[in-house]
Structure 1
Amino acid sequence: MPERRRTPTLSARLTDRLPARLTALRTPADPGFWRSPVRGARFTAVLGMVLLAGLTLLFVTGLLSYAAYNPDLDPVNDKTPGKGWLGFYLFAWPTGPHWLYRLTQGLHVTVGIVLVPVLLAKLWSVVPRLFALPPARSVGHALERLSVLLLVGGALFQFITGLLNIQLDYLFPGSFYTLHFYGAWVFLAGFITHVALKLPQAVRVLRSGGIPRGGPGPLVAPDSPARPDTLVAPDPLPATLSRRGALVMVGAGSLLLLITSAGRSFDGPLRRIALLTPRGGTEQGPGPNAFQVNKTAAAVRITPADTGERWRLTVRGPAGELRFSRAELLAMEQHTAALPIACVEGWSTSDQLWRGVRLSDLAALAGYPDSPPDVFVESLQRSGSFRKAALRDNQVRDGRSLLALEVNGAPLSPDHGYPARIIVPAAPGVLNTKWVETLTFGEL
């Protein structure tokens, strides 16, 4: 009988068609595993310099945001457990210019969003080194690898938790405030170490010339003929995109994120295209109250019964405990201030015209006629963070700091804090407490 011929399997046919050099098993630790012709020292150095500037700005504005919460007024404003010397207090947060927090926090969140494509591209460009063996060739190399671990882990943690916070997806366990605080210091440790080790090399690489238009580039680093560029693929695939083209794609991604997120800090058409920020243009109030709302009255279970005729403001101090109805507060001398609301999530409003009683006048009624002290503010809301907050004495003294009763010529809407709310220049939105119930002046 004639011998039956076996039909080769699909995998066997594909294997026969592959070059012999590709049939050998390769692992991520093998330089030949990484075949993109785009990777190279100069490509990585450009991304690194952009991140150096951007991440430095993020850390500085993050520290400013921490200072804006007046963390020395703990445990009211800052409940970070065991912060020790990491929670050092920089300075008393100023009340001027009145748009200060709107600027610093807007930059913090916007730059963080815009840097996402750059961060991902940078991680992609150096991924072969993350798998390189042996893990440590010397003490210096071990220190460098440790800094990379802290840098990459810290950056991913900070970016992911920050983006989730902006999107209102509180998927992480515990307080975002606390997690972001400690994550920032872990990231900073890796960032400073990595910059100290790699910045001189990156500068030398960039001084050697511009980014090649195409091709994998030389196998020798341009800054030293004896030092091979380990990021260049030894066996690259055919180039379909130049390194300059890759940088343009990264820049285009960042520009798209800028266009679809920055508008939450502005009024008009830009706010309507802030598609990536839920608080960009949703939940506006009615009529004169038609500007951005953070938490609605319904969301924190504030009912008309809580804010109706029975509502009273309690003011405490050396003069005792005083109680005022809304009508009595309206009968006091009224003052106006044009101030924005700026939230830690990065969104803000334009200046709104607030009208109400100065906090310094209420401090005088409480028994501090000459030098108003710090004040402890309590809200009607019974759940959520910052239903209790504290303001420093310099904020109480500022004539623009009000217990606001009206905005833009109309009574506050329930969602904007009726019957009364705090409004303070340059303060984070969470310190501009809504639905105020009690003011306690003096020792907190």
Structure 2
Amino acid sequence: MRDDPRLPFSPRFWRSPLRGPWFTSVLGLVLLVGITVLFVTGLASYAAYNPGLSPVNDKTPDKGILGFYLFAWPTHPYWLYRLTQGVHVTLGITLIPVLLAKLWSVVPRLFTLPPARSLAHALERLSLLLLVGGGLFEFVTGVLNVQLDYVFPGSFYPLHFYGAWVFFAAFTAHALLKTPMALRNVRRLREERNVGEEKDVREERDELVSPDPAEPTVSRRGALWSVGGGSLLLFLTTAGRSFDGLRGTALLAPHGGADPATGPNGFQINKTAVYAGIDPVETSEDAWRLVVTGRTGTVRLSRAQLAGLPLHSSALPIACVEGWSTSDQWWRGVRLRDLAALVGHDGDPPDLLVESLQRHGAFRRAALRANQVADPRSLLALYVNGEDLSPDHGHPARIIVPAAPGVLNTKWVARLTFGDL
């Protein structure tokens, strides 16, 4: 079977002259840097939800020691989540051609016989299986999540979170084993120049370089330029989702296209009032009341009464887990810390539980940390860009907090509960 060139188990089955240690090493070093950045920004995104604050924020309650690094997410700089999640999603999409080229370059190794020559070789093959499977799983679920409809079976949050830890563990083990050799291969202009490393070259040749290569149609450098061009194309058709004037270029990012409307409320949304199941009767001036509960009891406020309180303005973006974000919008409303003071929390305000009228979609309830409540830019917003909030942007009132994920900027707010959660 191993000698039959018609079967993938034979080295002669893989005839592309592009495969080799130099080509594979260049791609591997690019992924070493890119995937490390992806993992770090992914962990930051999870921390931004403040999952340790309240069960309503935590979509991975069985994380155990995997949550060892969690910290209270700051409100400074106010664009922090916009940056970290924008980098995470845009870089992930940009790296897809590099990942696919890397997998193509090493696919003969997946068919090497015998499957395991020793215990150490068996462990290496297992880590390779986890690396390839985990990498494909993470990229596929990530890409599906940035689209309008997430169609992968199961909840995105735990699947992507646990999958990331499995993948990165295999990736780290693989990097520790292969990075020194990859660096040597890249530095070597000709594989045989350094006689002292000839053994390493031959070991790589046994698995990657075809013993019967076909005629080349493109050089390895040309192939790398093609991969880089594919990544550049994906970058140019994705990155514009977060920049005014460039949103129309975000062809691969459904949320990142042109503004959905004109006027003060004409900027991106992640779910409409219709999708959330908002009944217009409930949000009417006569029916809607904000219930605020705290140390000294409960108060009920109409929108007119809220508008009569001291109002403040904040210029803040909306940044979503899908990677898109708005430019800074001018919000005007009542400071959260002032509402806390209304129910007996003078001085340093406590944590806050926010409840929405929405009936469909995640984060109908969300918790905010005390530092988020205390920030003077954190508002229960009534207006945006000089106009009443539209129904899709959360009328009659919504939360706006600096540096927080979009889902924590709750829309259609019905109740605020200050105190221990």
TM-score class, shorter-chain normalisation, is: over 0.9
Does the aligned pair in 1 maintain the 2:127–2:173 contact within 8 Å? yes
Does the aligned pair in 2 maintain the 1:377–1:438 contact within 8 Å? yes
Match of 2:197 among 211, 218, 224: 224
Amino acid at match of 2:264: P
Tell me the CA shift for residue 221 of structure 1. Answer: 9.6
Does the aligned pair in 2 maintain the 1:71–1:89 contact within 8 Å? no
Q: TM-score, normalized by length of structure 1?
A: 0.90
Q: Does 1:288 align with 2:264?
A: yes
Q: 1:38 to 1:168 in 2, by over 3 A?
A: same
Q: What is the rounded CA distance, in whole Å, between the counterparts of 1:29 and 1:74 in structure 2?
A: 52
Does the aligned pair in 2 maintain the 1:355–1:402 contact within 8 Å? yes
Tell me the CA shift for residue 74 of structure 1. Answer: 3.0
Give matches, 1:309-320, under 5 Å: 309=285, 310-320=287-297
Q: Which residue of 2 aligns with 1:214?
A: none
Q: Which residue of 2 aligns with 1:197?
A: 177
Residue correspondences, number: 414
Tell me the CA shift for residue 294 of structure 1. Answer: 1.3
Tell me the CA shift for residue 173 of structure 1. Answer: 2.0
Match of 1:32 among 12, 15, 24: 12
Q: 1:24 to 1:133 in 2, by over 3 A?
A: closer
Q: What is the rounded CA distance, in whole Å, between the counterparts of 1:358 and 1:64 in structure 2?
A: 26
Q: Which residue of 2 aligns with 1:92?
A: 72
Q: What is the rounded CA distance, in whole Å, between the counterparts of 2:112 and 2:195 in structure 1?
A: 21
Aligned residues with identical type, % of pairs: 68
Does the aligned pair in 2 maintain the 1:421–1:435 contact within 8 Å? yes
Match of 2:281 among 286, 305, 324: 305
Does the aligned pair in 1 maintain the 2:11–2:108 contact within 8 Å? yes
Q: Which residue of 2 aligns with 1:165?
A: 145
Tell me the CA shift for residue 209 of structure 1. Answer: 1.9
Q: Does 1:150 align with 2:130?
A: yes
Q: TM-score, normalized by length of structure 2?
A: 0.95
Q: Which residue of 2 aligns with 1:59?
A: 39
Tell me the CA shift for residue 178 of structure 1. Answer: 1.0
Q: 1:208 to 1:223 in 2, by over 3 A?
A: farther
Q: Which residue of 1 aligns with 2:119?
A: 139
The alignment partner of 2:367 has SS state of strand
Q: Show CA shifts across 1:247-291 (max 9, x none).
A: 0000000000001010001111x1001000110125624411111
Match of 1:122 among 102, 122, 139: 102
Q: Which residue of 1 aligns with 2:28?
A: 48
Match of 2:392 among 389, 409, 415: 415
Tell me the CA shift for residue 143 of structure 1. Answer: 2.1
Q: Show CA shifts across 1:62-110 (max 9, x none).
A: 0100110001023110031421111235211110111010000000000
Q: Which residue of 2 aligns with 1:107?
A: 87
Give matches, 1:183-332, under 5 Å: 183-209=163-189, 224-227=197-200, 228=202, 229=205, 230-268=207-245, 270-281=246-257, 284-309=260-285, 310-332=287-309
The alignment partner of 2:100 has SS state of helix
Tell me the CA shift for residue 204 of structure 1. Answer: 1.4
Q: Show CA shifts across 1:9-53 (max 9, x none).
A: xxxxxxxxxxxxxx9553211100000011000000000000000
Match of 1:178 among 142, 154, 158: 158
Q: What is the rounded CA distance, in whole Å, between the counterparts of 2:133 and 2:161 in structure 1?
A: 15
Moved more, 395-404 or 289-298: 289-298
Q: What is the rounded CA distance, in whole Å, between the counterparts of 2:180 and 2:320 in structure 1?
A: 38
| Structure 1 residues without counterparts, runs of 5 or longer | 1-22, 211-216
Q: Show CA shifts across 1:302-343 (max 9, x none).
A: 132121021000001111111000000000000000000000
Tell me the CA shift for residue 147 of structure 1. Answer: 1.4
The alignment partner of 2:255 has SS state of coil
Q: 1:251 to 1:223 in 2, by over 3 A?
A: farther
Does the aligned pair in 2 maintain the 1:67–1:91 contact within 8 Å? yes
**CA RMSD across the alignment:** 1.7
Q: What is the rounded CA distance, in whole Å, between the counterparts of 2:78 and 2:22 in structure 1?
A: 43
Q: What is the rounded CA distance, in whole Å, between the counterparts of 1:400 and 1:158 in structure 2?
A: 35
